[in-house]
Structure 1
Amino acid sequence: MFHELLGSLDEMTAENLQEPLAEIATGTRSFGPMEEWSTWYLLGALLPRSHEAFVSYLLESLLTGFMAIYPNGIYREPYKGFREDVLLTLGRCMMDSMCWNGSDIAIGKVLRQSNNNPNQVWVWWDASGDFTASMFFCLKYLPESSVEPWLRSVFDIPSPHWRAQVIVWLVGAHGILNNVIRWPSEFSMEARPYIGWEWSHCLKAEMAAADDSGAPPVPTFIPEGARTSALNVVRSYFSENRFPEWLDCISISTVPYLEAELAEIPSTFEALYVH
């Protein structure tokens, strides 16, 4: 279907590369797993270009394609060490040096892309697709024992923009972390905050049932142990003293437009998680 992939991938645009990745997600959703999607995969070749974007970041499509192929976790490795390779590469894309200027994000290269619109807003009230897809990827595939130190390391990053996204994502993810929502296909596009990402609506329970890897179908997108561990970390990390410090760092004095765009979301976060 995509003969251009047999040529040089370097000559293809982000838009062109998103198309076969979308086919993996939509095709698996509609027809179940197929060998051409699971044995020939674009992951390794496209990792260096994961932060390129056409409307959405290429990273989002890479993550969705991977999740579609491995809905029940990485049960059968294509080669020994595959799981670790994936976690150390795809799982760490957000930490690429090009995404950061010192301790803050590189504005416009990661998370929200631009405020070039009539209202000149960045849309910080929603979770950026690269961020939310990466968070769910790590929650889904990390060993349960690694969830707590990984999540604490996410919270310890002092970037105001990064911390704004953490709060937005945690408010939006409250339903799935509390097992009210089970799969990304159930995310509402009208939700505030919205935490879906490119083709995440394709990820549903039927994929787990159709998986032919031999893995037992998982009942929820995020494993129970990871979900419980994440909730415990959030509740223990955000004490009554720490959360006000985050708010000061996020927007009040350093980045005024973050405060304006987040509006009521920090108060919602406090009501949900800070006790």
Structure 2
Amino acid sequence: MRRLRERAPMPKNPMGEAWFMGGERQMYTGLLQPDPQSWSKRELENALEALTSGPHSFDHSDEWSRWFDFLLPRALECDDDSQWYPLLVSAVFVHCLDPALPGREPGFRRDLLDTLGRRLMAPSCWNHGRAGGSDGLLQPLGGGFYAIAADGAISAACCLVLRYLDADSIDGWIESVLAIDDPAWRCAFVVWLAGAAVLMFNGAQPASMDNPIYLGIGWDGHWLLDGSIPARSLAPDAAQFAFFRPAQVLALCASLKHRLDLSTMLDWGEQLAALSIPEHDRTTTLWQYETAVVQVLDRYG
């Protein structure tokens, strides 16, 4: 966090909104206060929305890039950062469009993963080893027709790590993901794998995943991510980057073949059935998980 802050001092000029009509543009002057804890939460969230949606709709701006680098570590330091965590991940995908991170200092990738990439491992996300802590960010099992929630923060975090982690570190990451002894977490990860298959193998971008609701892995701002700046609809000739690099996908598949099998996933399904799921959602939720298992077996080999 210290290195991320030192690399990005406060810009001299305030950042402005992306979407406005008329002659006066709103400027987020409150973010020039030196203490992030004094910032208005609404103003910070509006600024993050602007610097995430702005490049997608209006092309690159140095102003938005400078403020992204400045806000990245400081937004994580604010109280209630769980409110905008998925949006902050989307901002990373916009401003680090090429997953190879050209032009970034060598240590940036590691610092990004060790801060934003580890946010779901904060104690506030867990309760006696089970996902679902005090800040409400990590909720792999909720209410609803399909109760397994692999969208939101879970999907944003998994996509962030897989997109920027070095290929030779992915097996260690998968080992740690599967080692978390929480049935809800494990089943949500299986659903995420099933939903993310279109990004891995179909060449889809988050904006065009089009998954059925029971395999939904969307998060705040994912609809802005089509692999290019500005949007492909505005600039069809703009360079487009694959969301996941082939080396990362190959490393993920190799790790899953080594560490995950049908017997294990069936055991997790039995553990899921033993959890407290509202009776009117139980049948559809168990079907949701079984469908995800079939998808994972089929798509990842």
Q: How does 1:129-148 map to 2 (within 5 A)?
A: 129-148=152-171
User: Counterparts of 2:42 and 2:210 in 1: how far apart (Å)?
Assistant: 25
- Contact 1:124–1:165, Cα closer than 8 Å, also in 2: no
Residue equivalent to 2:204: 182
1:111 aligns with 2:134: no
User: Counterparts of 1:113 and 1:103 in 2: how far apart (Å)?
Assistant: 13
Report the CA distance shift for 1:22/1:114 in structure 2 as closer, same or farther (over 3 A).
farther
Equivalent residue of 1:61, what SS? helix
Shift of 1:167: 1.9
1:230 aligns with 2:252: yes
Give the letter for the 2:209 counterpart.
Answer: F
Report the CA distance shift for 1:128/1:15 in structure 2 as closer, same or farther (over 3 A).
farther
Shift of 1:209: 9.6
Give the letter for the 1:271 counterpart.
Answer: V
6-15 or 82-91: which moved more?
A: 6-15
Shift of 1:141: 0.5
5+ residue gaps, structure 2, are 1-26, 233-238
Give the letter for the 2:192 counterpart.
Answer: W
Give the letter for the 2:75 counterpart.
Answer: L
- Contact 1:32–1:207, Cα closer than 8 Å, also in 2: yes
Q: How does 1:152-167 map to 2 (within 5 A)?
A: 152-167=175-190
Shift of 1:224: 0.7
Give percent identity, aligned residues only.
Answer: 22
Query: Structure 1 length as normaliser, TM-score?
Result: 0.83
Residue equivalent to 1:214: none
- Contact 2:145–2:285, Cα closer than 8 Å, also in 1: no
1:192 aligns with 2:214: yes
1:252 aligns with 2:278: no
What is the number of equivalent residue pairs in this alignment?
260
Residue equivalent to 1:59: 85
Give the letter for the 1:121 counterpart.
Answer: G
1:95 aligns with 2:96: no
User: Counterparts of 1:204 and 1:189 in 2: how far apart (Å)?
Assistant: 15
Calculate the aligned-residue CA RMSD, in Å.
2.8
Q: Of 62, 65, 88, which residue of structure 2 is paired with 1:38?
A: 65
User: Counterparts of 2:113 and 2:63 in 1: how far apart (Å)?
Assistant: 23
User: Counterparts of 1:163 and 1:34 in 2: how far apart (Å)?
Assistant: 40
5+ residue gaps, structure 1, are 211-216
User: Counterparts of 1:28 and 1:232 in 2: how far apart (Å)?
Assistant: 35
1:5 aligns with 2:31: yes
Q: How does 1:9-24 map to 2 (within 5 A)?
A: 9-24=36-51
1:48 aligns with 2:71: no
The structure with the larger Rg is 2
Equivalent residue of 1:204, what SS? coil
1:27 aligns with 2:54: yes
Query: Structure 2 length as normaliser, TM-score?
Result: 0.76
Shift of 1:234: 2.5
User: Counterparts of 1:273 and 1:12 in 2: how far apart (Å)?
Assistant: 43
Q: Of 221, 225, 230, which residue of structure 2 is paired with 1:203?
A: 225
Shift of 1:134: 0.6
User: Counterparts of 2:214 and 2:92 in 1: how far apart (Å)?
Assistant: 27
